[in-house]
Amino acid sequence: MYNKNYELWKNANLEQELKDELNNLTEEKINEAFYKDLDFGTGGLRGIMGVGTNRINSITIKKSTQGYADYLNENFTNPSVAISYDNRINSKKYANIAARVLAANNIKTYLVSELRPTPYLSFLIRHFKTSGGIMITASHNPKEYNGYKVYEPHGGQLNLENSEKVIKKISEVTNIFDIKELDNNLINVLDLNSLDTIYLDLVKGIELNKFSNPATILYSPLHGTGSTLIPRLLEEFSYNYYSFLPHMINDGNFPNTRSSNPEEKIAYIDPIEYAKEIKADSIILTDPDADRIGAAVYHNGEYIILNGNQIAVITLNYLLENKKDIKNGYIFMSNVTTDLIKVIGESYNINVVKTLPGFKFIAEQMDKLDKESTYVFGCEESNGNIISPFVRDKDAVQATLMLSEISSYVKANNMSMIDYLDNIYQKYGYFIEDTLSFNFKGIDGPDKMNDLMEYLRTNHLEINGFELESIEDNKTMKITNLKTNEVKTSSLAKSNIIKFVYSDKSWIMARPSGTEPKLKIYISVNDKNISDAKNKHQAIKEVINNLINNN
């Protein structure tokens, strides 16, 4: 099949860059680039840029946009779309292509005039009351990647039902080399000055306390979109703020970073060296599309990197300590996020709702809240949260402002952020979480991941010293209690996820990533004693690494 696709592309009228790349492909590269169509997943496309049906390029962007346009025209009257993009190579080009394809389909667009964060797109959708949105980004992936995320009218990513409808429409697009584009007055290029002010004023509304001696903050956007808004925000709040200048350049090659992912420790190596010079209290990184936040905080002479769960726990605890009279409050969290969120929330009599991984599911639940309920917080373990619900995708701009405030709070109380976190653990118990990612690249990668998932379903994860209590399998939608043999139906959507829960409430969950060729395995343990919690974590980690290496 890939040979047929290759011949079609070779005879097509391609732009010169794609044509040159096509003519220089080896047999192996031809196979990788053409053996299938790039999957339009539950939220859109993500993949390596290059020529071919299995790559991100102008042709695959046009095809997806034409399918999305057909979906919009079938489901909305006079549809409109907001479009934004990040700093990646070709992001602006792909955003403009999408706008022109939509214009050719008589669909009005609101197109940013320069790069802006993913949460800003969510804000634009809600501000202009559009039928949806497109964000050109590959989030925290390496520089070779780009992507195309599609949004609902409420500002969250496309839900499962509508994803299937869009996928169907894309599959029906057969004239991929003859998709029309128009540059006309349906494309509204936005004046961002006034919109930036509106967005930032909404962000400012999350502030809870002011401090006379604010924290010293070192900020890096990792060459991405955070540079367009966050420095202004921190300056307007008079934080003792420094930019890490080597990362302030908007560059899709990420020339001065060791990683574009704030979840990875190597991303902090260079900022930490500068933080020592300026005696920063906190280092804050945002990923290229500024929906994820990362942080390293000063404690006892060194900088300690916080993971996404710890950032969420610290943020929620601070919010609940400072917010009064919450009426029928709700917290939303993914089911791979630390259970400490649920424990803290319920201690304040807040309703806690778990969703599948992916912020789209949190956005769906947020949108269902009635006027008698109060949104409190939404978070997931992968370094994302929403504090104020004026957007429906994780917002690192909000998160940066709140973490800066918390840094000032702990400083005013002669603590570090680690001291603050330890106080939480002493009150509620020690929770340790970890995410292990295993790469499965290449043509046979998906099959290997599926084989491992089926192995887990068949053999389970029996671990010495842990009593397996229940298995939650979202592929079969069954929750099985191994003690009573009682079987319940999962309330979550069907998904290729399996979770093993042990009698001490430790758990392990496995799922293939929805955006990368990775199998993700999540670990959560807890104990009243920190050393016991660490020992549990290490025991589970060793079993999983041995399992992966031997299969």
Q: What number of CA atoms fall less than 13 Å from residue 239's CA on the CB side?
A: 33
Close Cβ partners of 360 (under 8 Å, ≥ 6 residues apart)? 42, 43, 156, 157, 158, 159
Residue 514, token pair as written in the block: 């929805």
Give the separation between CA 253 and CA 500, rounded to whole angstroms. 40
> Does residue 139 carry a catalytic annotation?
yes
Give the separation between CA 322 and CA 209, rounded to whole angstroms. 9
**Structural contact between residues 435 and 544, judged by C-beta atoms closer than 8 angstroms:** no
**Structural contact between residues 355 and 333, judged by C-beta atoms closer than 8 angstroms:** yes
Which helix (H) or strand (E) segment holds residue 356: the answer is none
Close Cβ partners of 477 (under 8 Å, ≥ 6 residues apart)? 489, 490, 494
| Owner of token pair 């930032």 | 200
Buried-exposed string 267-299: b where 16+ CB fall within 10 A, e elsewhere:
bbebbbebbeeeebbbbbbbbbbbbbbbbbbbb
- Which three-class secondary structure string do you get for 431-491? EEEEEEEEECCCCCHHHHHHHHHHHHHHHCCCCCCCCEEEEEECCCCEEEECCCCCEEECC
* Active-site residue, selected from the candidate residues 64, 91, 139, 220: 139
Q: What are phi and psi of 194, to 5 degrees?
A: -70, -35
**Structural contact between residues 316 and 329, judged by C-beta atoms closer than 8 angstroms:** no
According to DSSP, the β-strands at 108-111 and 187-189 are: parallel
Residue 375 CB-density burial (10 A; 0-12 exposed, 13-18 middle, 19+ buried): middle
Q: What's the sign of the alpha-carbon dihedral 33, 42, 337, 449?
A: negative
Residue 63, token pair as written in the block: 């095809």
- DSSP H helices, 323-395, are 340-347, 359-367
What residues does 158 pair with on adjacent strands? Answer: none
> Helix 118-128 crosses helix 396-412 at what angle (to 10 degrees)?
120
**Structural contact between residues 236 and 196, judged by C-beta atoms closer than 8 angstroms:** no
**Structural contact between residues 523 and 537, judged by C-beta atoms closer than 8 angstroms:** yes
Residues annotated as part of the active site:
139
